[in-house]
Structure 1
Amino acid sequence: MATTTTSYAEEQAAPAARAFWISRINVGRLIAHLALLALVLIWTLPTAGLLISSVRDRDQLAVSGWWTALVTSDRNVALTLPGADAQAEEGGRYVIRGELFSDAGVTVQRYGTSINNPTEAAAGETLAVRQGGEITVAADGSYEWVSATPFEHDRVRLFVVAGTPPRFTLDNYVNVLNSEGIGRSFINSFTVTIPATIIPILIAAFAAYALAWMSFPGRAWIVALIVALLVVPLQMSLIPLLRMYNGIAMWTGGNSKTYLGIWLAHTGFGLPLAIYLLRNYMAGLPKEIMESARMDGASHFKIFTTMVLPLSFPALASFAIFQFLWVWNDLLVATVFLGNREDQLVLTGRLRELLGSRGDNWEILTAGAFISIVVPLIVFFSLQRYFVRGLLAGSVK
């Protein structure tokens, strides 16, 4: 009878080996979590920066980044002091008093009387003025200008380094929605996006069921053709499609720049991915359910509407997210099929015009940009639980 013996060295080495592999597994998991956290931060920080910038005061936004939104920001200000008619005689002296800032919370860091040296004196220090007398500016912005002789100046400039506390406002959004035409473009984008998302889903769902569960000649060739269409660039097919659509519009005497045209265009561009995604998901549904339904006398249409569609909701939601985001953020197709008419200009087109006409007004651009992304964010987070399930449709058996 054979026996197996373990040496003392092997018994001592076994726990060390187990600890080594456990430590390697923990390190690998930690690295994976850190990489995931880094990706989340890379995608989240720009959105957070855009949101913070869109609610900041325009003066602060022009001189400092969004990451300084919660701290006091310094800016150089050139102010004009009152003329000689504002002086008052007090005990043989002539005095001019006042406040540099009307906004509460603004503080003076340093100040000067010459543009060549705007930080000559700190707040609270006294500084000689070339036009006569001496001026003292306090940190809260109050000043006292004293002279032994009457003031005769007409205009004196004072240069101040002012500290401004954080200020947030919704005026940027009010300005964008009311004055810049974003509100109308916002509605136009919904008018384009919602039908351009629903129409391809309806068509693709019927086609995907037929390719997954109905037998007919040439089915494999149709699937191969759909896969091939996935790699066709949009730019390659855009011009031929536009020429064909314009020809039909001219033949019928209609207008080619209509919402119907852009709905059909987005439907055509989105159908290959929709059919491919839904077909893979429907093909992975349990075969026994379909056979039982057919044995009970259910038709294909009955099976499709009562069984397949409810079970395929994750895939439908995944494609709806893809199509909605694509159409909402589209500019090229909207420009080609709708043009630049004011009453049909979509949100991306309006933002493009703002970049040209208001490119230096960052508060307008940030508010408009965040308005454009808030709807896709709502759509994504409301359907995200179905997103991964739909993307993995048909990938494993």
Structure 2
Amino acid sequence: MKYKMLFALLMFFQFTSAQNKNRITTGLEDREFWVKSLYKISYPVIHNLANETLKKNMPLAHNPDYGLNLTKVTYLEAVGRTMAGVAPWLALPDDETKEGKMRKTMRLELLKGLTNSVNPASPDYISYRSEGQPIVDAAYVAQAFLRAPKALWEPLDELTKKRFIEEFKSLRTRTGAYNNWLLFAGLTEGFLLSIGEQYDPARVQFAVNKMKEWYVGDSWYSDGAKFSMDYYNSYVIHSMLVDLLKVLADKKKAPESDYNLAVKRMVRYSEYLERLISPEGTYSPYGRSITYRTAAFQALAQTALMDKLPEYIKPAQVRCALTKVMRNMYEGNQNFDDKGWLVLGFNGHQPEIADIYTSTGSLYMATLGFLTLGLPADHKFWTDVFAPWTSLKAWKGEPIKKDYKVEY
């Protein structure tokens, strides 16, 4: 009898858990989960940087075949990638809600941490002046400043701003891979242009020109001379090209039509990403760098943030699809260690799939999937009722829009 009761209780809890997991949530509940998840991911990086303990406390996990100078690159990876993901959320105005208080705390800690990161006297000083990898992650720092200038750049004191500018300019002594890396160099220079600093127009123009040449059609860019089937169109290419061209168009250094075309291509690519999410909220772990997790949906999140979703894709269906993905990845603790740091893997500790350039700091690219938190809580993205996404409708036999290639 005792074992029958225990078995019955176990079955009840499993049934209740399944019911809760499949329960249709409101937009307010979804947003609360997004905020909780982004805060959980970002907190160890930002809090430790603010307290000058990032280098002391951040794990240094990596693949056995890791090929970079770990301690000279991983900390900047963590900081830049985290910043770029949280920036739109931190750009929202302060308020007295629970979320608003969390946001303000994180913004103030990040500002303090940024000051530490470029102060040569700080234990957490992060140099941009050697190795190739800082070309990449300086661009994410710059992108964060572009995404939230009033929240993250303007409040910095003049000495800290001067130090960032010097670190950015120091990158000009090196070059990197002949692929999406051109955008990293271009975006950092684009940020310098945006604040009225001397910038390198050749690096900017080279990045833009090569991306135009590497466009292969129907929203896909080749990552260099040869096409690679992976998520780099979302991790890097669409978002950075759009952000760079926005600066150039605003500064009259590129025609508005170039920016508009880049946006149209990103919008089209976001259609692929929305269709890629299965009815269960999973997606295919193909290509390199899958340890970047939800960064795979940066282009979709940014398109929604810009209110540029195609007419047939409702904002709520994007919210619901991404929420399903995020619950699969972040509702449990399989992607975190016992101190809250991300672990090497796709959905769990899977160090064997880490690339030769991947370490703990690299993983914070995951924050890029949360860009749509930059929309206020009263936006229809958050307030509209549950809406099924394309694959969910397709597998239920419901009407869906045909998908065709586009010619631009």
Verify same fold: TM over 0.5: no
Instruction: Kindly name which structure, 1 or 2, has the bigger radius of gyration based on alpha carbons.
Output: 1
TM-score using structure 1 length: 0.24
User: Of Structure 1 and Structure 2, which has the larger fraction of its residues in strand?
Assistant: 1
TM-score using structure 2 length: 0.23
Higher relative contact order (CA 8 A, sep 6+): 2
